[in-house]
Structure 1
């Protein structure tokens, strides 16, 4: 059977892949660091803009069972977010590349390849496309994490990330293979009905697919394999050492774009393919464990990057919480279902923007070749570099869900509202309690920025790339905080 190809639907993916090729050509023929970086940034921004412009409902690579590539407003939002995140991380990387820590051509090429995987993942309509796109997003990061030359921490972080990610991929593939063995379906739109219908076994009467142990094992393995990608407890141990050992801009990409990819994959399989009545309790348990462990361990951190890493673990719990409430809306319809999906998507968007702003401030406060450093080294930072310190404090307050961090405040309210709408009041109470625990370390670090500096260190200039990313991330976070309906309209797809 022949398939028609909608090249307009594929245009963001084409641009992302073309960016990687152009970066290689620019590095080969021009061999100037600035030119390579500009080509990569322009390609990433163009990918994001095209994803927004062509955000109408489209599909390609279609069969009677379903389509392998589906574009809608939600996938366009995620693709655009990937493009802008990549552009921001590239700008943050300018001081790192100027210091010769990593070769510009290879660095920009790997980030562009990872962005291509993220853009394709946003529109994945079958399990094969989803898993391949997720691995395309992840594979370049193994190398990027190890690019702090001559440091044992960077090499150890790269090996840890590689081993854990390979195991997670194997688990996800095994789960997908088991589901295919039961249903003979790969497309997400047809997998759901097949799982809730009957299957014929050799020499026996038809039975419901969900009643088979093989089906339960496949669903569990697929969900748990994807839980590795979002660093959900108890599959989180790789995140803090990997973030701390990676170059700071790469850690920023890991905590934003990489987590965004895992959330997109979970959303795709949970909201379209897998039965919410089965996945809901599992995701609710993961959410409670993730937010509680993340917040409690973050209280004891003395290094900035590890604190942000454990903070991102806790934030993943808040994202998973609305998905855990989907068990009460098994028909994938109704106000509870729509509110839960909207809350998960909007919280992801706000978290990614605020997290990027926090890392941009850390990059601006540190030397290009340095790691995140100890929290004590940030004492009085807002007195030495007023605007950077204020931006970091705003990002931390936003992650805590306090005003004036309006984006974070709206995101947490949206999550709690979705849980109350879905009659998951007990989970809403746990989210609220964990938000209070999170205040302890967010506010502590924000206060440390304004504490008197006993060393009287001089004022430090802000690197222009970090200043630009800080300004953009802060402006966007404030803007969407005042106009949350803009994100809601995109999140509902």
Structure 2
């Protein structure tokens, strides 16, 4: 008999646990602390401190493998664990906690001013004063905002260590449920519509994913990834193309379709542009990196640990999704005239790039319908690890671009006049040279052009993964879309250095107001990281040799 109480490795679960406890502390502090303390950033610094502590707790976990919540298998196959900390876990927890910390800085002033009474004259069709007089559409409620943001970040960090389907689904919902409310915090019509659309699409994706999970569980009788992989491999080798093999294949596909909604892959992407535009801009930045990264890590863990023997089933589907996603995202981005909507379609295209290595896996394992688990080599893990390297670089660059746009528009709302249209950035180099240079760097890096060499290396990693795995057609799609991306990144960059025509759009700098220093700190951090990754791309690429060992467990 197994004891009902088992010891818990608190260090292993420490990073997400600290973030979750900080979320509760931030909510309580916003209630009991005086308004003057909130205006001075008490809750902001509390949230930021909790995220920094979580990042520091990752250091003693480096180079180790820790398993928590383990139970012996009924068939005597050893222990199966629900939460594992290894290199894969730490990399994604770094992205989640670091990204959330930068978003806290970007939204700092919007939460500080929320403690001040709203003025009736600011009310309009798209900017209504709250009935309690506490916050307007341009401001974010302090306690609620930090609680929801940190709770969602804790879920993203938990996904990275999930090693069974139940933990994965619960953690994904912990990411999504607070995100619905975050999108609607602006308290105006556009924000409410965006939150509703986001909610409905997410509910459908969860329903589809749960149907797939139930079919997989019905075939395998297991929820742990390693047990599912073993059961699917034995079923395919023992029974051949039996009816259960077909049911398992349907379950695998439906599970991946549910995760494709989270990653915003085409045709499951239609919620992204309206949601990003309707949400506070800082929240859109969070969704584009941390929330999307959570869906990606869930997809990566499932296909590499639970469904490796069905690579011949899911990899071609993911390959088609990757090709369509990157192409549609880039083509539609060409026609965008507003900053946030262009970044939204750009993030859809970037999701396509992230899926390319997964679509190339079948070329390594073979193109048959089902491949044996024993045939999965380290080459497959190396192909999948290319996605991780791309995500690390993309997270820094995209947060930087969103950071500049957030500081121009204002972190609380995207409905203001300044900084919304691409034309508003014309001549920005003269009005605000620091932010103009930073934005130009991030846009060029996302396009894969110098001096932002980090973006170029990221695309080379993806291209190489497709070529070396034998998926030449995907490599061609990547190459063509890199060229298409230049057609909308370069014109926006060029506007920054063009002379202003007529009356220049108003900006914070035009009115003599300084850009909030927390936002400038966030932009500076991402710029420094982007420069480091450009000068020494090995910082991200060195992760690749270690990940195959983690993914092969």
TM range (shorter): over 0.9
**Structure 2 residue aligned with 1:177:** 214
**Structure 2 residue aligned with 1:467:** 520
CA distance in 1, matches of 2:312, 2:97: 34
CA distance in 2, matches of 1:260, 1:392: 22
CA distance in 2, matches of 1:57, 1:435: 38
CA distance in 1, matches of 2:424, 2:183: 24
Once the 2 structures are TM-superposed, how far is the Cα of residue 328 of structure 1 from its aligned partner? 2.4
Q: How does 1:63-142 map to 2 (within 5 A)?
A: 63-65=71-73, 66-100=80-114, 101-142=139-180
Give the secondary-structure state (helix, strand or coil) at the position aligned to 1:329: helix
CA distance in 2, matches of 1:291, 1:193: 34
CA distance in 2, matches of 1:435, 1:238: 24
Alpha-carbon displacement from aligned partner over 1:374-419 (angstroms, at most 9, x marks no partner): 1111211222110111111111111111111121111000011111
Q: Are 2:462 and 1:409 aligned? A: no
Give the secondary-structure state (helix, strand or coil) at the position aligned to 2:360: helix
CA contact (8 A) 1:52 1:77 kept: no
2:347 maps to which of 312, 316, 328:
312
Q: 1:132 to 1:210 in 2, by over 3 A?
A: farther
Q: How does 1:188-227 map to 2 (within 5 A)?
A: 188-198=225-235, 206=239, 212-227=245-260
CA distance in 2, matches of 1:271, 1:262: 14
1:37 maps to which of 39, 44, 48:
44
Once the 2 structures are TM-superposed, how far is the Cα of residue 152 of structure 1 from its aligned partner? 1.1
**Structure 2 residue aligned with 1:21:** 24
Point out the more displaced range, 4-13 or 277-286. Answer: 4-13
CA distance in 1, matches of 2:396, 2:339: 18
Alpha-carbon displacement from aligned partner over 1:453-475 (angstroms, at most 9, x marks no partner): 12246744322111101110111
CA contact (8 A) 2:11 2:57 kept: no
CA distance in 2, matches of 1:407, 1:147: 34
**Structure 2 residue aligned with 1:50:** 57
CA distance in 1, matches of 2:429, 2:190: 29
CA contact (8 A) 1:23 1:40 kept: yes
CA distance in 2, matches of 1:333, 1:273: 12
Once the 2 structures are TM-superposed, how far is the Cα of residue 340 of structure 1 from its aligned partner? 1.4
CA distance in 2, matches of 1:474, 1:272: 35
Once the 2 structures are TM-superposed, how far is the Cα of residue 11 of structure 1 from its aligned partner? 1.1
CA distance in 2, matches of 1:379, 1:226: 39
Q: Are 2:390 and 1:352 aligned? A: no
Once the 2 structures are TM-superposed, how far is the Cα of residue 197 of structure 1 from its aligned partner? 1.4
Once the 2 structures are TM-superposed, how far is the Cα of residue 29 of structure 1 from its aligned partner? 2.3
**Structure 1 residue aligned with 2:492:** 445
Point out the more displaced range, 385-394 or 50-59. Answer: 50-59
Give the secondary-structure state (helix, strand or coil) at the position aligned to 1:234: coil
How many residues are aligned here? 488
Alpha-carbon displacement from aligned partner over 1:269-311 (angstroms, at most 9, x marks no partner): 0111112221110110000000000000000011111100000
Q: How does 1:380-459 map to 2 (within 5 A)?
A: 380-454=427-501, 455-456=503-504, 459=509
CA contact (8 A) 1:321 1:415 kept: yes
Q: Are 2:259 and 1:251 aligned? A: no
CA distance in 2, matches of 1:25, 1:171: 36
Point out the more displaced range, 189-198 or 347-356. Answer: 189-198
The RMSD of aligned alpha carbons is: 1.9
Q: Are 2:98 and 1:60 aligned? A: no
Q: 1:53 to 1:453 in 2, by over 3 A?
A: farther
Q: 1:368 to 1:321 in 2, by over 3 A?
A: closer
Q: Are 2:357 and 1:322 aligned? A: yes
- Structure 1 segments unaligned to the other structure (5+ residues): none
**Structure 1 residue aligned with 2:333:** 298
Once the 2 structures are TM-superposed, how far is the Cα of residue 81 of structure 1 from its aligned partner? 1.6
CA distance in 2, matches of 1:304, 1:24: 32
CA distance in 2, matches of 1:221, 1:399: 32
Once the 2 structures are TM-superposed, how far is the Cα of residue 424 of structure 1 from its aligned partner? 1.1
Alpha-carbon displacement from aligned partner over 1:412-459 (angstroms, at most 9, x marks no partner): 000111111101111111101000000000011111111111224674
Q: TM-score, normalised by structure 2?
A: 0.85
1:375 maps to which of 422, 425, 437:
422
Give the secondary-structure state (helix, strand or coil) at the position aligned to 1:237: coil
CA distance in 2, matches of 1:256, 1:220: 25
CA distance in 2, matches of 1:442, 1:466: 23
CA distance in 2, matches of 1:472, 1:41: 14
Once the 2 structures are TM-superposed, how far is the Cα of residue 209 of structure 1 from its aligned partner? 6.6
Point out the more displaced range, 287-296 or 10-19. Answer: 10-19
